[in-house]
Amino acid sequence: MSEEESPAQRVAIGISFGNSYSSIAYTSGEGKAEVIANEEGDRQIPSILSYVSGEEFQGTQAKAQLVRNAKNTVAYFRDFLGQDFKSIDPTPCHHSAHPIQHESTVAFKIKDKEDDTENTVTVSEITTRHLRKLKNSASDYLGKNVNAAVITVPTNFSDAQKDALSKAAKDAGIEVLQFINEPVAAVLAYDARPEAKLADKNIVVADLGGTRSDVAVIASRGGMYSILATAHDYDVGGAQLDEVLMDYFAKEFLKKWKNGGDPRVDDRASAKLKLESEAVKKALSIGSSANFSVESLSKGFDFTCSINRMRYETISSKVFATFVRLVLNVVEKAQLDPLDISEIILAGGTAHTPRIASSLASAFPESTTVLAPSTSATAINPSELAARGAAIQASLIQEFETEDIDQSTHPMVTVTPHLARAIGVLCISSDESTGVFRHLVEAETPVPVRRTAIIATPREGGDVLVKICEGTRVIKVTKPEPKANGKAADDSDDDEDSDESDEEEELREKTYKVENVLAEAALKGLSKGAKVELQINVAADLSCTFFAREVGGKVAVRGGWKAPGKA
Amino acid sequence: MTTFQIGLPLPVLSADWSAPTESKTLTAATDRNIEPVGPHFLAHARRKRHKRTFSEDDR
Ligand SMILES: Nc1ncnc2c1ncn2[C@@H]1O[C@H](COP(=O)(O)OP(=O)(O)OP(=O)(O)O)[C@@H](O)[C@H]1O
Ligand SMILES: [Mg+2]
């Protein structure tokens, strides 16, 4: 349809397009990202289209059609794009239009026209229609025709899926400037806040959605992001929590109305049950209790029932535990320890659940900040992170020529050597075994890199040694002191005894072990109370120059080392 | 990037210290993909494409 717009004519937004919900966001003139509410006032727009006598509905209105008009309602289709029928999992579409095989792609048979004939509509066409609605909502809000977007995708979205999404967007009049990974968009949304400070840290993004949960471990180094490990779980998400509540309310209903029939069996009753259970679940993220209330739930019987948060957390505890395990597994997959993780960003709608955030907080050490609405006053709405990140990226690149964007995102530019070990300086003692290693550059930092530190000197000043080393992070475990009347510590083959000692918390700390001395330099005649500024510059070929000087003084020294393999 | 503060003092130079003669190098690096996202990546891409260093970029 539309040709590529020249950068000057672009109006670009950020789009998060999930299987369950979509969001649109833009970046204002002041550089602030904001999520746009559609005509119905929704910022989380169900990714659902429904047709009634040829009229198209989207979002919340379409979702309501799941009760009466499920066959002509298309939902949970994002992951089908660019896939062949054999490789998709149709389970989430159990209560809506079923995906079918159509030529080499996936389609739905729906009555989407006034004439009541059943048409085969491909997932690509459905996506185009959905994106067109999103585009129109954004255009209405902004008062100009939106014609470009940055769209977020899961980290395991294949090139074929991206191509299909790109084409579907193009057909909706949207030029996809760039696809960015969902967890990276979440990190960017946090880093773009004016109060954010640049720091080198390892971040976990736990994106807990509706039909899937995706976790990524990201090395954030000077504002650049590298993904160290990912995991995807299609068996656990918000839908499983809905099911826990559906089971609970169905059983309560049957207790009250013995002849009511199981609402989980009948299609229409189960659609009502599901919609209301989801609403109850969301209410329980804020309130300490919530009301389930459906008129004529099954066989004409109305049903109201209240549930408190504690009960909900008890019946959902297995699902909650699965999320925690998933996160811990990915940290392990990245060959990291929970102590290496500075932040857990909770993203996705399910991340609103207070118990998930608190369970994660207790599974990680105190030094790990859990960024979720219930654990942090400054957390960003987890449902908005992806769209905001996309909008920020859109504002950064919208003035670039398409060719420039393509070149910058090419592996020639993005594939970069990352340091295997940390680089730092020895403090207190010049002996590698007793000196304390303080890092300037963390492991997994992409090169080239430049870091500067201001370091204290001995109280009297004088001559100091700048000893630059490579170090590896080690976790130091200190076992608690054995109890005075306890058995000997080596008695650990006794089961009872080891159980008991497990209860005592061992102390785990992050320290560094010096592996390799890279360079040494002397700074002589420092004044009393002097501070030393040390700057390390590692080039792309791993050669290095460093510079140390007395802050505000004249003493200075330079040094460095060569690239490996160069004499 | 903000400057680190390291509160522990540098070691005292021993009287018999002499500059090492042997030259060392870093452990081999791992190639990874940097996510092409955010302002700092764009600066990195600019430097890489124009073969500029940090200090040339600062000017
Ligand atoms: N306040 C809330 N409390 C608890 N759960 C919520 C809340 N808001 C939304 N959810 C749930 O979050 C899920 C949707 O998450 P999200 O908006 O991230 O969807 P998505 O990325 O489209 O999902 P997916 O692609 O995994 O299906 C739904 O199960 C929804 O019920
Ligand atoms: Mg999602």
Within a domain: A375:
yes
What's the CA-to-centroid distance between A18 and ligand 1, angstroms? 9
CB-closest option in B7, B11, B35 to A181: B35
Distance CA A547, CA A559 (A): 7
Q: What is the pLDDT of residue B55?
A: 73
Within a domain: A39:
yes
Average pLDDT over residues A202-208: 98
Q: What is the pLDDT of residue A492?
A: 46
A309 & A325 share domain = no
Average pLDDT over residues A423-447: 95
Buried b (16+ CB within 10 A) or exposed e, A403-437: eebeebbeeebbebbbbbbbbbbbbbebebeebbb
A459 to chain B: which residues are within 8 Å by CB? 9
B52 to chain A: which residues are within 8 Å by CB? none
Residue of B nearest to A431 (CA): B11
Question: Which of A381, A402, A431 corresponds to the end of one domain?
Answer: A381
Domain total for chain A?
Answer: 4
Q: What's A299's domain CATH number? A: 3.90.640.10
Beta-strand pair B4-9/A449-456: parallel
A461 Rama sector, left if φ>0, alpha if ψ -120 to 50, beta otherwise: left
Which residue is it, tokens 């999103």? Answer: A134
Distance CA A345, CA A368 (A): 10
More confident: A492 or A277: A277
Q: Name the band, by pLDDT with cuts 50, 70 and 90, for residue A6.
A: confident
A452 & A311 share domain = no
Query: Hey, which of A15, A19, A21 would you mutate to test ligand 1's pocket, going by the most ligand atoms within 8 Å of its Cβ?
Result: A21
Question: Which of A298, A315, A332 corresponds to the end of one domain?
Answer: A315
Which sign does the torsion angle of CA B38, B43, B49, B54 carry?
A: negative
Domain that holds residue A544: 422-483+503-561
* Numbered residues of chain B with Cβ closer than 8 Å to any chain A Cβ: 1-14, 17, 19-20, 23-42, 44-45, 47-49, 53-54
Indicate if the pLDDT at residue A133 is higher than 50.
yes
* Among A454, A473, A457, residue whose Cα is nearest residue A465: A457
Residue type, A18: G
> With contact defined as beta carbons under 8 Å apart, do A480 and A505 qualify?
yes
A468 & A541 share domain = yes
Kindly report, residue by residue over A66-78, the tens digit of the pLDDT.
Answer: 999 999 999 999 9
In percent, the amount of chain A with pLDDT more than 90 equals 89
Kindly report, residue by residue over A32-53, the tens digit of the pLDDT.
Answer: 999 999 999 999 999 999 999 9
Within a domain: A266:
yes
Which protein residue has the closest C-alpha to ligand 1 atom 9?
A349
DSSP, collapsed to helix, strand or coil, labels residue A327 as: helix
Q: What is the pLDDT of residue A494?
A: 47
Kindly report, residue by residue over A337-350, the tens digit of the pLDDT.
Answer: 999 999 999 999 99
> With contact defined as beta carbons under 8 Å apart, do A24 and A384 qualify?
no
Indicate if the pLDDT at residue A501 is higher than 60.
no
Average pLDDT over residues A290-318: 97
A61 & A126 share domain = yes
* Record: contact A457-B9, CB cut-off 8 A: yes
CA distances to A9, A127, A147, A399 from A6, in Å? 6, 25, 11, 9
* A374 C-beta closer than 6 A to ligand 1: no
A286 & A339 share domain = no
Tell me the average pLDDT of chain A.
94
Kindly report, residue by residue over A391-423, the tens digit of the pLDDT.
Answer: 999 999 999 999 989 989 999 999 999 999 999
Q: What's A221's domain CATH number? A: 3.30.420.40
Residue of A nearest to B15 (CA): A463
Q: What is the pLDDT of residue A497?
A: 47
B13 to chain A: which residues are within 8 Å by CB? 430, 462-465, 522-524
Within a domain: A553:
yes
ipTM of the complex: 0.94
A473 & A535 share domain = yes
Indicate if the pLDDT at residue A490 is higher than 90.
no
CA distances to A205, A282, A370, A372 from A377, in Å? 18, 19, 11, 8
Q: What is the pLDDT of residue A1?
A: 40
CA distances to A255, A271, A352, A434, A474 from A385, in Å? 41, 29, 12, 45, 33
A377 & A515 share domain = no
Q: Name the band, by pLDDT with cuts 50, 70 and 90, for residue B59.
A: low
Within a domain: A265:
yes
Indicate if the pLDDT at residue A378 is higher than 70.
yes
Tell me the average pLDDT of chain B.
88
Q: What is the pLDDT of residue A469?
A: 96
Distance CA A35, CA A12 (A): 13
For residue A303, count CB atoms less than 10 angstroms from its CB and return exposed for 0-12, middle for 13-18, buried for 19 or more. buried
Average pLDDT over residues A95-117: 95
* A237 C-beta closer than 6 A to ligand 1: yes
* A152 C-beta closer than 6 A to ligand 1: no
For residue A75, count CB atoms less than 10 angstroms from its CB and return exposed for 0-12, middle for 13-18, buried for 19 or more. buried
In percent, the amount of chain A with pLDDT more than 70 equals 95
Distance CA A546, CA A519 (A): 9
Q: Name the band, by pLDDT with cuts 50, 70 and 90, for residue A8.
A: confident
B59 Cα to chain A: minimum distance (Å): 15
A48 & A172 share domain = yes
Q: What's A459's domain CATH number? A: 2.60.34.10
Residue type, A103: E
A440 & A533 share domain = yes
Indicate if the pLDDT at residue B21 is higher than 90.
no
Q: What is the pLDDT of residue A485?
A: 60
How many Cβ atoms from other residues are within 10 Å of residue A270's Cβ?
A: 22
Listing DSSP states for A78-125 in one string gives: GGGTT--GGG---GGGGGSPPEEEETTEEEEEE--STT---EEEEHHH
Kindly report, residue by residue over A149-203, the tens digit of the pLDDT.
Answer: 999 999 999 999 999 999 999 999 999 999 999 999 999 999 999 999 999 999 9
Within a domain: A113:
no
Q: Name the band, by pLDDT with cuts 50, 70 and 90, for residue A481.
A: confident
* Record: contact A532-B48, CB cut-off 8 A: no
Structural Rg of chain B based on CA atoms? 18
- H/E element holding B55? helix B54-58
Distance CA A327, CA A323 (A): 6
Average pLDDT over residues A439-461: 95
Q: What is the pLDDT of residue B47?
A: 87
Within a domain: A187:
no
Indicate if the pLDDT at residue A521 is higher than 60.
yes
A67 & A133 share domain = yes
Q: What letter would DSSP give residue A265? A: T
Contacts 24+ apart (CB under 8 A), B13-20: B13/A430, B13/A462, B13/A463, B13/A464, B13/A465, B13/A522, B13/A523, B13/A524, B14/A430, B14/A465, B17/A430, B17/A465, B17/A520, B17/A522, B19/A520, B19/A521, B19/A522, B20/A517, B20/A519, B20/A520
B15 Cα to chain A: minimum distance (Å): 9
A68 & A176 share domain = yes
Distance CA A364, CA A370 (A): 9
Average pLDDT over residues A464-476: 96
What's the CA-to-centroid distance between A358 and ligand 1, angstroms? 18
* A59 C-beta closer than 6 A to ligand 1: no
> With contact defined as beta carbons under 8 Å apart, do A244 and A320 qualify?
no
Q: What is the pLDDT of residue A344?
A: 98
* A43 C-beta closer than 6 A to ligand 1: no
Question: Which of A295, A315, A335 corresponds to the end of one domain?
Answer: A315
A444 & A427 share domain = yes
Six-digit token pair at A125? 């066409």
Q: Cα-flanking dihedrals φ and ψ of residue A441, to 5°?
A: -125, 125
Q: What is the pLDDT of residue B23?
A: 76
Q: Cα-flanking dihedrals φ and ψ of residue A9, to 5°?
A: -95, 5
Kindly report, residue by residue over A313-365, the tens digit of the pLDDT.
Answer: 999 999 999 999 999 999 999 999 999 999 999 999 999 999 999 999 999 99
Q: Name the band, by pLDDT with cuts 50, 70 and 90, for residue A508.
A: very high
Q: Cα-flanking dihedrals φ and ψ of residue A497, to 5°?
A: -65, -45
* Record: contact A463-B4, CB cut-off 8 A: no
Q: What letter would DSSP give residue A71? A: G
Within a domain: A252:
yes
